[in-house]
Amino acid sequence: MGDDAVKPSPPPTAGAGEGPGAARRRPDGSQIFLTTRFEQMLNAARKNSLWPFPMGTACCGIEFMSFMMSHYDISRFGAEVVRFSPRQSDLLIVAGTITDKMAPVMVRIYEQMAEPRYVISMGVCACTGGFYRAYHVVQGIDEFIPVDVYVPGCPPTPEALLQGVVKLQEMIERGETQYQRAIAARKAAQAAVGG
Amino acid sequence: MANREERAAAVRHAFPPGSGVEEVGGVDLQTFRVDRKVLPAFARHLKDDPALDCRLLSDLCGVDYPDREQRFDVVYHLYSIDRGHRIRVKVPVREDDAVVPSLVSVWKAADWFEREAFDMFGIRFSGHPNLKRILCHPAFHGHPLRKDYDPGQRWLLREGEQLAPSWADEVQEDEDHFETQVLNLGPSHPATHGTLRAVVRLDGEVITQAEVEIGYLHRCFEKMAEQHTWNQVIPYTDRLNYCSAMMNGVGYALAVERLVGVTAPPRAQVIRLILSELSRIMDHIVDIGANLNDLGAMTPFLYMYEAREEIYSVLEACCGSRLTMSYVRIGGLSFDVPDDFESSVRYLLKRIPRLLDDMERLITDNRIFRERTEGVGAMSAADALDWGWTGPCLRASGVAYDIRKAEPYLGYETYDFKVPVSHAGDTYARYLVRVEEMRQSLEIVAQALGRMVPGPVIVDDHRVALPPKEEVYTEMESLIWHFKLVMEGMKVPRGEVYGYTEAANGELGFYIVSDGSGSPYRIKVRPPCFAIFQAFEHMLPGHMVSDAVAILGSMNVIAGELDR
C-alpha cells in the first residue's frame, strides 16, 4: 500500500470522536478506522496493480523482456501480470518503433483497453520516431494516442523503464495522468453548465 | 580463376555472344548482364547446368540509376552449395517499361524478393502469382527507394484500409454444410511477437489456406542508410537483428572493408569473433526461449535469460550498451575491451554450459515438447534450398551449409568447431541444432580467448579511422584528417560488393553500391529470416493452429531484420 495515498486523519485532540472525519480510537489509543476520499483509495489500488499490455514491436521489446525477468523483476512494483488481451489490461507499454502500417492496430488496441488506461512510451522511436526520420515511421505515438510517461533511450535500460513505471504510479496517485485529467475536465465542464 | 573461366565457358556454350548474355567485369563476383528476354532461360540454365549449379538464390534487389537510359538494374545473387561459387546477374530495364519476367518458377525464393523490388522501385515482375506491396502499407503512394522519393514523405493509413487476403471474405461450404472459418493471427498476438500477421482458413482446427502479411516494422533502413555517412550506418545495422546486434555490424563492416581494401587488426578480429559468437548464443536463447514460451513452457526462458543477462554485462563493459552496441567501426572497433574482459568471458564459459544443461534437462526429452514439435513443420532439404533458407533452419533440414566453414572470415578456418546438422527438418530438429550450435560457439570462444594478442583495435589508416586524440591536438595533418572524416565522412571507392557472413539466422548479406562519395549509394540487406519466413504460409496447410505457433517460433523471425 502506498504511504501517502491513504492519509490517516490528524491525531485526536481534545474532544476527538465528535463529528465526521475524526478517528475513532480504542481505549488503549489504537486506531479503529481511518477516513479518506473514495477517489484516493481507488487511485492507490489502481497504481499498485497495473496490468500491462506489452506492445513490443522492436528492439525495445527485447529490453522489455529483461524488465520482466527475474534480474530486474517488475513484480516488485506490482505490474507483472502481463496480458496479451487489451481487454484485460490497463497499461499500454509501447516498446518499439510504430510504423504507419502498425498505427491503426495500436489505436485499436488502445481503444479496446479497460478504463482507466495509461500509456508508457518506451524508447525514442515510440516517443519521437528516433533516428528513423523516414517515410514509414510514426514520428511519436502521441500523434495517435495520449501518452503519460515517455522513457527515452535506444533502447532504455530496464532500470529506466522501472523508473517510468514508478513515475506513472506517482501520477496516478496524484490524478495527473492524461485519462484522469480528461475525466476531471469533463466533470468540471458539466459542473459549469449546472449538470 | 580457373573455375571462373570454366563457368564463363559453360555460359558461353549455351548463350553465345549476341544472345543477350554478356559477362561484365565483376571485381568481387563474376557478373553477367542479361537481357530480360532470355532471363528465364538463363536462370534455368544457371540452376540446372551441373557446372553452374546455382541452387540457392540468395538475394534479389533493385538499384536505381536515374541518369541512365535504362534506369533500373535488377540484381540477382546466386550461390552454388556444392561447388561453392557465387554469381551475380544484372538485368537492366527502362523506367517506362520496367517489367522483368518473374523467376518464381525457377526459385521459389524469388517470391517475396520480387514483391519487395516492386514495392521499393515499381519494377513489375510478369508472371508473379501475387505481385503487390509487401513492406509499405496499402495506402502508400510512390516507390520509396527511388532516388527522387523524399525520405520523409509519409502517407496515412486508416483502419479500414488494412489489407486482408482476397479470399478472406469467401464462404466455403462442403456438401455437409460445414463452413470453414477465417482466423486472423496478429499482428498483435502473443505468439507473433508484435509484428507478424497471418490470416488462415480453418476447417475445424486444421489450416487449409494461409497468407502472411509483413511490413509492420518497416522502418526504412535502406533509405536511411543512403542519407548517412558510412560509419553512421552502423547504429542502423544494430537494429536489424536486435537479438544479436554485434553480428550485423560485423557483417556490414566486413563488406565495406572489402570495398575499401582494409583489414581490421588481429586483436579487433578476435574481439569481433568472440562477441559475435556470444551474440549467436544470445540470439538462440531468445529464439528457443520464446518458442518454448509460446508452447506454454515458461521456466526454460527464465533460466536461460540469466545467461543473457550475464552476456549483457560483458557487452556493457565493452561499449556501454547492453543491446544495440554500435561497437564496430569500419576498420576495427571503437574502443579496446576492458582489462577484465578475459576473466569475465571465462566466467561465462563456465556459467552458460550449466544453464544450458539445466534447460536441456527440462526440455530435450520432455514428452509434451517432443509431441508438439516432432514431425511438425517438416521441410525437405531440396525445398529448403529452393526457398532460400540458410542458417540453423537449413542445417536442420540436412544441408551442412555454414559460411564460417564454406567461406571463412575473421579467421574461422583456424578454429576447431563442428557444424551441427539434422536430417529431420522439423521443429524439434531446429531446436536441437540451435542447442548444439550454442555449445559449439562456446568452444570457439574458448579457443579465441587464447589468441587475444595485444595491439591496436582499429587500422592505422586515416582514410577510414579517426587519428588518435593526442595526435589531433599536436599534429596539423592529423587535425585535417580528423576534420575531414568528421565533416564529410570516409570515402569509399566507386564499386559494388556483396558481403556475407553467418549470422544467427543464416546468411546475412550486404549488397553495397558506392559512387565514391561519403555516403552509400545503395545498401541492400539480405535478411536471412526474410527468405525463411516466406515459406511459412506454404508450410501451414495441413497443420493445426497450435502447430502454427510452434513452427513460427522455431523459425526465429526477427521483425527488425525481416522488415528492415
| pLDDT of A14 | 45
Residue of B385, B396, B379, B381 whose CA lies nearest to B432: B396
Confidence of residue A2 (pLDDT cuts 50, 70, 90): very low
Of A69, A109, A136, the CB nearest to B188: A109
CB contact under 8 A, B218 and A155: no
Does B337 score more than 70 pLDDT?
yes
Q: Chain A: nearest CA to B559, how far in angstroms?
A: 7
**What's this model's pTM, rounded to 2 decimal places?**
0.88
Stronger pLDDT, B165 or B103, i.e. the higher one: B103
Q: What is the pLDDT of residues B181-208, one digit of tens each?
A: 888 887 877 777 768 888 888 888 888 8
Confidence of residue A1 (pLDDT cuts 50, 70, 90): very low
* Residue corresponding to grid cell 583456424: B414
Residue of B389, B393, B388, B407 whose CA lies nearest to B500: B407
In this structure, are residues B294 and B553 in contact, taking their beta carbons and an 8 Å threshold?
yes
Locate the DSSP E strands across chain A: 52-56, 91-95, 118-122, 149-151
| pLDDT of B431 | 92
Q: What is the pLDDT of residues B141-182, one digit of tens each?
A: 889 999 888 888 888 888 777 667 777 777 777 777 677 888
Q: What is the pLDDT of residues A54-79, one digit of tens each?
A: 888 888 888 888 888 888 888 888 88
The enclosing H or E element of B78 equals strand B72-79
Does A172 score more than 70 pLDDT?
yes
Q: Where are the alpha helices (DSSP H) in B176-265?
A: 221-226, 233-238, 245-260
Instruction: Tell me the sheet residues that pair with B59.
Output: B77
How many whole angstroms separate alpha carbon B457 and alpha carbon B59? Answer: 32
Contacting B with CB below 8 Å, chain A residues are: 55-59, 61-63, 65-66, 69-71, 84, 96-97, 99-105, 107-109, 125, 131-137, 154-155, 157
Q: What is the pLDDT of residues B493-526, one digit of tens each?
A: 888 899 899 998 889 999 999 988 888 999 999 9
Does A9 score more than 80 pLDDT?
no
Q: What angle do CA A135, A136, A137 make, to 5 degrees?
A: 105
Give the range among A125-139, A174-188, B153-167, B259-273 with minimum mean pLDDT. Answer: B153-167
Does B401 score more than 60 pLDDT?
yes
B312 contacts in chain A (CB < 8 Å): 66
How many whole angstroms separate alpha carbon B552 and alpha carbon B549? Answer: 5
Mean pLDDT of B392-415: 90
* Residue corresponding to grid cell 472525519: A21
Stronger pLDDT, B529 or B193, i.e. the higher one: B529
Does A149 score more than 90 pLDDT?
yes
In a 13 Å sphere around the CA of B496, the CA atoms on its Cβ side amount to 20
In chain A, domain spans: 40-190
Q: What angle do CA A21, A23, A28 make, to 5 degrees?
A: 170
Q: What is the DSSP letter of A22?
A: P
In this structure, are residues B528 and B416 in contact, taking their beta carbons and an 8 Å threshold?
no
Q: What is the DSSP letter of B338?
A: P
Dihedral of the alpha carbons of A152, A156, A162, A168, in degrees to the nearest 10: 20
Strands B332-333 and B495-503: unpaired
Mean pLDDT of B7-27: 80
- Burial label, B20 (beta-carbon count in 10 A; 0-12, 13-18, 19+): middle
Does B491 score more than 50 pLDDT?
yes
Does A12 score more than 80 pLDDT?
no
Q: Chain A: nearest CA to B213, how far in angstroms?
A: 11
Q: Does domain A40-190 have CATH number 3.40.710.10?
A: no
The enclosing H or E element of B555 equals helix B545-555
Sign of CA dihedral B35, B40, B46, B50: negative
